[in-house]
Amino acid sequence: MLSTFVESDRACVYLAGERARQDVRVMVDVGPEEYEHLLERGFRRFGAVYFRPACAGCGECRSIRVPVETFRPNQAQRRARRACADLRVELGPPRVDDERLALFARWHAAREEARGWDPSPTDRDSYFQCFAFPHVCARELAFYDDDAGGSGKLVAIAIADETPRAWSAVYCFYDPAYARRSVGVASVLLQIELARARSLPYVYLGYRVAGCASLAYKARYVPHELLSGRPGEDEPAVWAPP
């Protein structure tokens, strides 16, 4: 472990008027079993940084996971999957190039305009550190529209992690021109399908935050389970339906 710390309080980006902080661990050479142990206890990963909420006065960030075998998509989710069925998907290790940087820039600019996000200039190094840092569990799903001409247009990227008993959907961004297809929803469904094909029991979706409109979609994947509290490394992780 390179470092471990709990952040100072800051304004919460999910709930107005709340304060937030995170339990942060910077680690390299984390194996699949160790990472899965962290996932079960509410940690997420970007690059070499593992984190989970450690807020003093609020417990609204609840880790959420989908039991693969019992999940059934609703009508809207099935419609999104069909709308993206023509996209070619390549599964491989995450990487960084000009095409991915340009796609991320277009997606983030659209979010800045629609949701008031702060600008987030991203160069090769910052993209690498966040999305393409070498890790034995790291996966990338690249979505291409072959009808757009040439060798296919890159229209979406989904970053994920795979452990012996779980798939973790980490991040997804896409071309704003394809927003009406609900690419993000289709991406989650595809990842659940991949987990089922690999006999992985769970797909982790990050945090459900009641009262945060931008994260409300996570509760629509049913049935799902929520983690109780913030269990320590030697404590059992208790997951149950809401």
The pLDDT tens digits for 92-101 are 999 999 999 9
Beta carbons within 8 Å of 230's beta carbon, 6+ residues apart? 23, 41, 42, 52, 53, 54
Mean pLDDT for 160-182 is: 97
The CA-based dihedral angle spanning residues 39, 136, 183, 117, taken in that order and rounded to the nearest 10 degrees: 70
The pLDDT tens digits for 191-202 are 999 999 999 999
Residue 12's φ and ψ, nearest 5 degrees, are: -75, 135
Please report which confidence band the pLDDT of residue 1 belongs to, taking 50, 70 and 90 as the band edges: low
Beta carbons within 8 Å of 88's beta carbon, 6+ residues apart? 143, 144, 145, 146, 152
| Angle (CA) 63 69 70, round 5° | 75
Q: In the chain, what are the domains?
A: 3-240 (3.40.630.30)
Decide if 172 contacts 160 (C-beta within 8 A).
no
Asked whether residue 56 carries a pLDDT value surpassing 70, the answer given is yes
Nearest to 218 by CA among 44, 31, 5: 44
The pLDDT tens digits for 58-90 are 889 999 999 999 999 999 999 999 999 999 999
Bridge-based pairing of strands 61-67 and 202-209 is antiparallel
Cα distance from N-terminal residue to C-terminal residue, the chain: 34
The pLDDT tens digits for 17-49 are 899 999 999 999 999 999 999 999 999 999 999
* pLDDT at site 213: 82
